[in-house]
């Protein structure tokens, strides 16, 4: 049966990869395909759209509408291919040397494909599987909160959630949170030889970025040698910088984005409070010279971390399916698992593929990971088809 799910999952993966669901685009074509696929099994789901109506989360219950089920969650969006040198079409799954290449193969359409392939097995369960697909995970986990809230309102209490990020099918119990901000500086243009007549937005931005880099170094100095995260401290990086029109003009506009990734127990807003005060002071200073100018800062996302739970129910249950007996793992990237956990769901990360193969040109997933993911789905279906057993991990 596992081989059949792997074969069917690969075919579904080819379909899902063909949808260009880069975060800046709509994901509705993929959602419509999933709805039609589930309709063939007599299953109807629920959309949770964004405000503009051009994207949607989607979830559906497979099996009886009872408590004690398992959420299998994955994000439908992928990162851009812009500027990357691919050896084959990113939107066509291509097999080479035991690997399936294509955007989203590892992160994380393979997990979604395998869950969909196992739908006929899940329908036989005494407890349900809830397949949940989000949008805009790659740009700050923006879509999932509304979906999670809807699940909490409309679905009989699930036992746990598995977020299928690529973990090589290892069970991951913790991840860092992320706070993403954008700083915009409005300067006053003048000839670059007459600096006293204007304000360079670029120069102001450079000064603020310098302060952030000093903060990054201070965070590095606070490394916890007992931390399960690598690196064992909060990290701060500037990811986007844009500004200026010519080398001999004081820049009118400049913007940059930075992200702060904190392990559980550290509050990013508290860490950034002194920087926020500095931004306000610089803004006031510029406005005192040119009232139309200044600095603004906007929080684009604030994704909570997933805090490891010692002997957690979700970890024990998923380990019983994967056979993973290794040490508890934590990862430094952010994911939607922290959002599920904050809403009260016992949650772990576990999915086929590796994060090391994600986001890069020629993204790939190994065929043996497809097989392992398929085996996981079969074992999950078998467990949920059993009468409720007196298992410690399910109490």
Catalytic residues: 77, 137
Residue 241: phi and psi, rounded to 5, are -140, 130
Three-class DSSP labels, 186-218: ECECCECCCHHHCECHHHHHHHHHHHHHHHHHH
> Is the separation of the CB atoms in 84 and 361 below 8 Å?
yes
Q: What is the DSSP letter of 393?
A: G
Scan for tokens 């799954």, then name that residue.
Answer: 93
If phi over 0 gives left and psi between -120 and 50 gives alpha, with beta otherwise, what is residue 98?
A: left
> Are the C-beta atoms of 121 and 381 separated by less than 8 Å?
yes
Q: Which residues pair with 297 in a beta bridge?
A: 183
First to last CA, the chain: 29
Distance CA(367)–CA(100), nearest Å, equals 7
Q: Are 134 and 340 in contact (CB under 8 A)?
A: no
Whether the upstream peptide bond of residue 224 has omega within 30° of 0, thus cis, is no
Q: Per this entry, what is the length of the chain?
A: 395
Nearest-5° Cα angle at 391, 390 to 392: 120
Residue 92 near residue 17, CB atoms below 8 Å: yes
Tokens of 255: 């913007």
* C-alpha–C-alpha distance, residues 216 and 199, integer Å: 27
* 11-16 contacts, C-beta under 8 A, 24 or more apart: 12/37, 12/112, 12/113, 12/114, 12/116, 12/117, 13/93, 13/100, 13/105, 13/109, 13/110, 13/113, 13/370, 14/92, 14/93, 15/113, 16/104, 16/109, 16/112, 16/113
């Amino acid at each position: 049966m596992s081989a059949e799910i792997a074969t069917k999952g690969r075919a579904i993966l080819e379909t899902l990869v063909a949808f260009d669901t880069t975060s800046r685009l709509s994901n509705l074509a993929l959602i419509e395909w999933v709805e039609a696929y589930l309709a063939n099994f007599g299953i109807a789901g629920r959309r949770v759209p964004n405000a503009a109506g051009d994207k949607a989360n989607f979830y559906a219950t497979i099996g009886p509408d009872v408590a004690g089920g398992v959420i299998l969650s994955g994000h439908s969006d992928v990162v851009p291919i812009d500027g990357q040198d691919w050896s084959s079409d990113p939107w066509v799954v291509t097999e080479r040397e035991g690997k399936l290449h294509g955007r989203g193969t590892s992160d994380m359409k393979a997990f979604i494909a395998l869950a969909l392939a196992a739908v006929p097995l899940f329908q036989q369960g005494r407890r349900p599987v809830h397949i949940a697909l989000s949008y805009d995970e790659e740009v700050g986990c923006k879509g999932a909160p509304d979906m999670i809230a809807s699940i909490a309102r409309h679905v009989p209490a699930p036992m746990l959630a598995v977020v299928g990020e690529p973990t090589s099918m290892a069970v991951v119990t913790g991840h860092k949170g992320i706070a993403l901000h954008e700083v915009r500086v409005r300067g006053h243009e003048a000839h670059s030889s007459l600096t006293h007549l204007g304000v360079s937005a670029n120069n102001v931005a450079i000064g603020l970025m310098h302060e952030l880099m000093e903060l990054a170094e201070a965070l590095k100095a606070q490394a916890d040698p007992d931390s399960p995260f690598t690196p064992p401290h909060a990290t701060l990086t500037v990811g986007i910088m844009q500004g200026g029109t010519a080398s001999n003009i004081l820049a009118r506009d400049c913007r940059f984005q930075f992200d702060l990734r904190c392990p559980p127990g550290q509050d990013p807003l508290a860490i950034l409070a002194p920087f926020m005060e500095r931004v306000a002071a610089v803004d006031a200073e510029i406005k005192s010279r040119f009232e139309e100018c200044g600095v603004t800062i906007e929080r684009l996302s604030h994704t909570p971390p997933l805090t490891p739970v010692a002997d957690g129910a979700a970890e024990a249950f998923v380990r019983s399916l994967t056979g993973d007996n290794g040490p508890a793992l934590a990862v430094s990237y952010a994911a939607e698992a922290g959002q599920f956990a904050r809403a009260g769901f016992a949650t772990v990360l576990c999915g086929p593929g590796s994060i090391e193969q994600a986001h890069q040109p020629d993204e790939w997933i190994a065929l043996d990971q497809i097989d392992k993911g398929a085996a996981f789905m079969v074992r999950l279906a078998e467990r949920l088809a059993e009468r409720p057993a007196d298992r410690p991990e399910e109490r």
